[in-house]
Amino acid sequence: MSTSTITGGGSEAGAQGGVLRRARELTPQFAEGLGVTLAIAAATTIGKLVVPIAVQQTIDTGVLGPGGPNPGRVALLCAIAAVVVVLTTCTAWVVNVRLFRATEAGLASLRVRAFRHVHDLAVLTQSGERRGALVSRVTSDVDTISTFLQTGMLVLVLSLGQVVLATALMFFYSWQLALVVLACFVPLVFLRNKLQRPVARAYAAVRVRMGEMLAAISETVVGADVIRAHAASARSRRTVDAAVEAHRQQAVKAQVATAATFSTGVLVSGLVVALVIVVGTLLGADGDLTLGRLLAFLFLAQLWVGPVQATTEVLNELQNALAGWRRVVDLIDTPVTVPEPAGDRVKELPAGPVDVRVQDVAYTYPGTDKTVLTGVDLHLPAGSRTAVVGETGSGKTTLARLVTRLVDPAQGRVLLGGVDARDLPGRELHRRVVAVPQEGFLFDATIGENVRRGEPGATDAEVRAAFAELGLGDWLDGLPEGLDTPVGQRGERLSAGERQLVALARAHLADPDLLVLDEATSSVDPATEVRLQRALEGVLSGRTSVAIAHRLSTAEAADTVVVVDSGRVVEVGPAVELAHAGGPYSRLHAAWTAQHA
Amino acid sequence: MSGTFLSGMRTLARGAREEPRLFGTAIVGSAVYGAGTAATGWLVGRVTDRVVVPAVTGSGSVGTAEVWLAGGALMAVTVVTVAGILVRRIWAGMVAFALQARYRRLLARRYLDLPLAWHHAHPAGRLLATAGSDVEATWQAMFVLPFALGVVVLIAVAGVAMAAADPVLAAVALLVLPALLAANVVYQRRMSPRVTRVQQLRGEVSTTAHESFEGALVVKTLGLGEEEVQRFAADADRLREANVAAGRTRGGFEPVIDALPSLGTLAVLVVGTFRAASGAVGVGDLVQIAYLLGLLAFPVRSFGWVLSELPRTVAGDARVQAVLREGATTPWGERSLPAGEGAGPLAVAADGIGYRHPVPAADPLDERADVPEQFVRRGEPRAPRREPVPALAGVTLDVAAGSTVAVVGGTGAGKSTLAGLLVRLVDPTSGTVLLDGVDVRELADGQVAGVAALVPQSTFVFDDTVRGNIALGLDADDVPAGRRVDDDDIWEALRLARADGFIAALPGGLDELVGERGSTLSGGQRQRLALARALVRKPRLLVLDDATSALDPTVERAVLDGLAASGTGTTVVVVAYRPATIALADEVVHLERGRVVDRGPAAEVAARDAGYRDLVTAYARAARERADEAQHGTGMA
């Protein structure tokens, strides 16, 4: 009965076979000691039959015994029964704890495995939404499985045993009455499964309304400045009221659907009691049933009620848990686009500043035919300083990602120190080739702790020196708490420009041999930026550097300027020469000069 | 705990008073359920005595009709009970959801009314959580409270019925109740901190994952992947331990709570047989009491559920009330200023204003003794150890009607703060802001927004259509005709903001949804949308806070020229770096660390103020120096 309601179809049953196989591979902890646990669980179920049997025995052989009521016999029987109840209570606890230990150990390792895989994937093109989905893979999806295993699975296993044993005993006492009970409960199981669908739909709609409502309320908080500036609160009140009311109405609808489903169970168990008494009495009057057995049926039937009431919800939880499991496994099975080199291909990056060669490289967004870069050939000698300029969307950020191996080219190759970047192990590569992205992401810690992530183990003095060498000592000293200043989530307690300063110090402390700055100073004020550029020139000596520039002042400081336009390199040369060459750079330069002179 | 119990019950009582009809209906339904359930047990006993025993043992003659009548009576009681359950569950939900909705509306109204300085002191995430999960937590107990009250009725009626059947047996059976109650209470008390800990650790795992994935680029570029996995694995392991601890408690108590009624039934059977031997009870009494004991086992758990929800009720309500009771207000006056096209440009002045950013507010739960410690939210920014330095000090400014003034300054100079003060987003800590000579605090609500518009640095786009985002309610029917804007006004504003082109190209035009679930706009497009939003209000004073930085200089120029040519003229205060933007201003004001260090025509300030020169001509100077170095061969490369 239970299996058919879980699967509901052959193809799904096949998929679940796959789930079990993958579970053995990914979470072998689940299976550890499972046989013993299930054996104890089976023995535990017997405890559920104690009360109905005691009732039958008490009535038939105790109260209505041949020689009148026999309290001694009942006392003995019930003492034995009590011992069984106490013993099965203990074994139930043992079963629970064994199951929780095994499953939680498995889930913890599944979580970490999925987390590691997210970092192994090329995660550069994640939108906020996609990132939220990845977070839920390692959090709520695994939590759903955990919740099911902690509450649902045990109910399912014990319920099944309880229903099977109760039914067997019912048939032993009276097959006719057993059929009556089954005739009531079995259709209910199917009916409730059917009723569950509108309930699930109603709750899905509640979640949507909830999201809309929170979005409406969030506008009153996040958009408070605009609302105040334009005296637009009447509009926001209307939006919020409508969204709150829509959520309330949908939530009440869902509540009505749940209440209706729940009450069918109560109604049917009332019907069972009435029918057991009517049919049982008629059978008993004919001498087919003893009073004790008839009354035991009242208690046996109760053993069906709990499982029937719980099973629908548990099956729902099971579906959620399976869906969560599949999403986690799908993530783990997603192929890595920037794979680690195979053991026999591993090469080492030669010491010292990195010589970069880009050979006939093209890059296409994976899974699309959108070409971002094509036919790129460049040589950046060790120790040289290069600036890359071009319009937004010209492909200059992609070029930066190719030389730091955040992505692999679709065609051609990138050589770092003469070695194909694909043959360098990621960890070593990223220790020596550091990129500073435009949005200077900081961890929720202090400034000092953030910078130290560039070089774990660096002392405060070394961190301070990193700022000083970038000409940022004054800025650091101006902060009341200095290195101990907490930066808040994503570094939001600092301004965008200040976050970039910390990110630069972090990269500088990492002491890379190739430093790639992707518009890394775009948010700092002009005077600071110019000072920073001056300091960088000193810091960069002895390193190869590539700066993606959105301001031409950066380009002018470089040895070589690379101009990218529509995915192609259109000009390469010293800034001074290009400015007068009459090409694309000349035009950019003229526009820049007009704004700033 | 008793403090928590009383506070929680007081909150629930308040909720019941606020929704008396819904709550009353739920209670009546629950009482029907309680009485009906007790009646079922009583009826089973009576039917056993009068129908089943005589029929089965042959001790009396029972007709088939009587048997069916007994069944019918049982069914009738069940139907009434089920009706009670339906009413109880549906109305309990209606009470809880009505209260959630009520408090969410109240909170949103407070958020809209509280001064922006208050907003700036409270993290947005906390305010959202208060309207979302805190409100939900406050009223979660309402789902079970009517049930628990119905169970009181159930116990009372069942107790009386049992005592009527046989006081001795009733006493034995009812002994199980306190044991069950005690087990439930102990269980919930031990379970509640464990569940909270699991939830808290789930939150921490989520925070770590979110931060780590958000910073994935930095993690990768610095080769920190392995460290991140270690960090996450430690969190995941703590969560595993907490889950196992919660499971151990749950796994221990559930079987005990299951076993207690079984043991009670066995005791009833033994004592009942002794009583039957002495002729004090019949089989029916025995069955009634044993059966009722079985029926009570589950409902008694509702007390435990209510108790386990109460700490959440207290914690949630504390945060909600902290917002609702917040006393900060924006004082409004009664005066008004003429608005609209005919009124001409507005003079704006600042007289010795100073401003200090508000100190971040602590979580209201920090100060509540009746809130269990584990409910205090972690991971919120802690208050800085030192008083923040003033963002502005003694700023005096005089902008003549119709003139354009550029405010120039480095990062953190206080430019945005000044911009916000001029349109009264916040009030200065000291000094006054004057519009046409009137202190802004003497103006009535809505007056400043009626004459002055600010275009902020970053544009907030509402989840609405283009039209909705620009009109922001000014297109509603209840807006007075003089202020109401129609599509022509919106297109006119879009033209002035040079946004008409890309809006017309959107598939939905003005009806296109933008914002969270609609089209995404580029930075420059968002800025032009914000400009149109300001311009459609025909402001007499326009404050642009670095609001044209993503625009092409030629577009910027066209926007400002268009503004000047649009008719009566507007006073413009613009925060800017670019020399091209500054060139459009009649006068510049140089801010440094919250103070005005110089002001006057751009050329004069540039001539005498080295700091200003340093800032505005930084790029040009750098380029010049570089050119010199190249010429003299002293370049570093």
Over the stretch A463-475, which tens digit does the pLDDT of each residue have?
999 999 998 888 8
**Is A255's CB within 8 Å of B237's CB?**
no
The mean per-residue pLDDT over the stretch B235-256 comes to 90
Look up residue A302 and give its two tokens: 């109760």
Q: Determine the distance in angstroms separating the CA of A12 from the nearest CA of chain B, rounded to an integer.
A: 30
CA distance B148 to B155: 10
Contacts of B89 (CB under 8 A, 6+ apart): A255, A258, A259, A262, A263, B29
Which of A30, A255, A303, A337 should we substitute to test contact with B (largest number of B Cβ atoms within 10 Å)? A255
Which of B99, B102, B218, B537 should we substitute to test contact with A (largest number of A Cβ atoms within 10 Å)? B218
Nearest to B93 among A252, A281, A295 (CB): A252
User: Model confidence over B375-405: pLDDT tens digits?
Assistant: 555 444 455 555 567 889 999 999 999 888 9
Nearest chain A residue (CA) to B220: A430
Quick check: A166 and A48 in contact, CB under 8 A?
Answer: yes
One-letter identity of residue B246: A
The pLDDT value given to residue A1 = 32
Reduced to 3 states, what is the DSSP secondary structure of residue A42?
A: helix
Question: What one-character DSSP code corresponds to residue B442?
Answer: G
Angle between helices A526-539 and B618-632 (to 10 degrees): 30
One-letter identity of residue A312: T
Quick check: B402 and A489 in contact, CB under 8 A?
Answer: no
- Segment of A548-552, B167-171, B180-184 carrying the highest mean pLDDT: B167-171
User: Model confidence over B41-63: pLDDT tens digits?
Assistant: 999 999 998 999 999 888 878 88
The pLDDT value given to residue A321 = 86
Question: What one-character DSSP code corresponds to residue A23?
Answer: H
The pLDDT value given to residue B637 = 39
Using a CB–CB cutoff of 8 Å, tell me whether B107 touches chain A.
yes
CA distance A55 to A273: 16
Contacts of A398 (CB under 8 A, 6+ apart): A363, A372, A373, A407
User: Model confidence over B415-472: pLDDT tens digits?
Assistant: 889 999 999 999 999 999 999 999 999 999 888 988 999 998 778 888 889 999 999 9
Tally Cβ neighbours within 10 Å of residue B135: 24
Nearest 5°: the CA angle A47, A51, A53 is 95
Widest CA span in chain B: 128
Closest CA to B296 of A302, A162, A312, A91: A302
Strands A411-416 and A419-420: antiparallel
**End-to-end Cα separation, chain B, in angstroms:** 72
Q: Determine the distance in angstroms separating the CA of B611 from the nearest CA of chain A, rounded to an integer.
A: 9
User: Model confidence over B326-344: pLDDT tens digits?
Assistant: 888 888 889 988 887 678 8
Element (H, E) at A373: strand A371-380
CA distance A555 to A576: 10
The pLDDT value given to residue B374 = 55
The pLDDT value given to residue B342 = 74
User: Model confidence over B272-317: pLDDT tens digits?
Assistant: 999 988 888 888 888 899 888 888 878 888 888 888 888 889 889 9
Question: What one-character DSSP code corresponds to residue A288?
Answer: S
For residue A585, what are the β-bridge partners?
A: none
CA distance A360 to A379: 11
* Alpha-helix runs per DSSP H in B61-142: 64-113, 116-121, 124-129, 135-139
Quick check: B543 and B422 in contact, CB under 8 A?
Answer: yes
Using a CB–CB cutoff of 8 Å, tell me whether B263 touches chain A.
yes
Please indicate whether residue A81 or residue B632 has the higher confidence score (pLDDT): A81
Low-confidence ranges of chain A (pLDDT < 70): 1-17, 122-131, 367, 392, 596-597
CA distance A383 to B350: 53
**Is A85's CB within 8 Å of B262's CB?**
yes
The pLDDT value given to residue B14 = 97
The mean per-residue pLDDT over the stretch B344-367 comes to 84
Tally Cβ neighbours within 10 Å of residue B156: 13
Residue A183: phi, psi to the nearest 5? -60, -25
Contacts of B389 in chain A (CB under 8 A): 480
* Alpha-helix runs per DSSP H in A459-511: 460-469, 473-478, 496-509
Compute the count of residue pairs across chains A and B with CB atoms less than 8 Å apart. 488
**Is A489's CB within 8 Å of B211's CB?**
yes
CA distance B323 to B127: 9
| Whole-number Cα distances in Å, A457 to A431, A485, B162, B218 | 14, 19, 74, 18
Angle between helices A291-333 and A233-285 (to 10 degrees): 140
**Is A135's CB within 8 Å of B223's CB?**
no
The pLDDT value given to residue A322 = 87
Widest CA span in chain A: 123
Please indicate whether residue A269 or residue B617 has the higher confidence score (pLDDT): A269
Quick check: A148 and A315 in contact, CB under 8 A?
Answer: no
Contacts of B222 in chain A (CB under 8 A): 430-431, 434, 453-454, 506-507, 510
| Whole-number Cα distances in Å, B343 to A9, A133, B440, B537, B572 | 74, 53, 18, 13, 15
| Whole-number Cα distances in Å, B509 to A445, B466, B476, B519, B609 | 45, 8, 19, 11, 48
Contacts of A39 (CB under 8 A, 6+ apart): none
CA distance A158 to A38: 10
Question: What one-character DSSP code corresponds to residue B140?
Answer: G
Quick check: A510 and A503 in contact, CB under 8 A?
Answer: no
Tally Cβ neighbours within 10 Å of residue B382: 10
Q: Determine the distance in angstroms separating the CA of A289 from the nearest CA of chain B, rounded to an integer.
A: 8
* Alpha-helix runs per DSSP H in A480-583: 496-509, 526-539, 552-556, 575-579
Asked whether residue B117 carries a pLDDT value surpassing 70, the answer given is yes
Contacts of A291 (CB under 8 A, 6+ apart): A59, A60, A64, A284, B52, B53, B56, B57, B283
Closest CA to A463 of A502, A520, A427, A512: A502
One-letter identity of residue B197: R
Closest CA to A295 of B209, B470, B74, B47: B47
CA distance B616 to B410: 10
Look up residue A221 and give its two tokens: 């908080």
| Whole-number Cα distances in Å, B128 to A130, A141, B330, B381, B608 | 22, 23, 22, 16, 49
**Is A281's CB within 8 Å of B51's CB?**
yes
Alpha-carbon torsion (B133, B135, B137, B139), positive or negative: negative
Query: Looking at the domain covering A356-596, what would its CATH class be?
Result: alpha beta
Which of A60, A141, A212, A218 should we substitute to test contact with B (largest number of B Cβ atoms within 10 Å)? A218
Question: What one-character DSSP code corresponds to residue A61?
Answer: I
Contacts of B212 in chain A (CB under 8 A): 115, 119
Query: ipTM score here?
Result: 0.87
Reduced to 3 states, what is the DSSP secondary structure of residue A570?
A: strand
Residue B392: phi, psi to the nearest 5? -140, 145
Interface of B with A in 135-194 (CB under 8 A): none
CB-count exposure of residue B14 (10 Å: 0-12, 13-18, 19+): exposed
| Whole-number Cα distances in Å, B16 to A326, B21, B22, B86, B92 | 44, 9, 8, 19, 10
**Is A112's CB within 8 Å of B425's CB?**
no
The pLDDT value given to residue B487 = 93
Which of B112, B198, B591, B626 should we substitute to test contact with A (largest number of A Cβ atoms within 10 Å)? B112
This prediction has a pTM of 0.82
Nearest chain A residue (CA) to B132: A214
Q: Determine the distance in angstroms separating the CA of A252 from the nearest CA of chain B, rounded to an integer.
A: 6
Please indicate whether residue B118 or residue B376 has the higher confidence score (pLDDT): B118
Strands A356-364 and A371-380: antiparallel
Sheet of A560-565: strand order equals A433-436, A514-518, A544-548, A385-389, A560-565, A568-573
Contacts of B619 in chain A (CB under 8 A): 526, 530, 551-553, 592, 596
Residue A386: phi, psi to the nearest 5? -120, 140
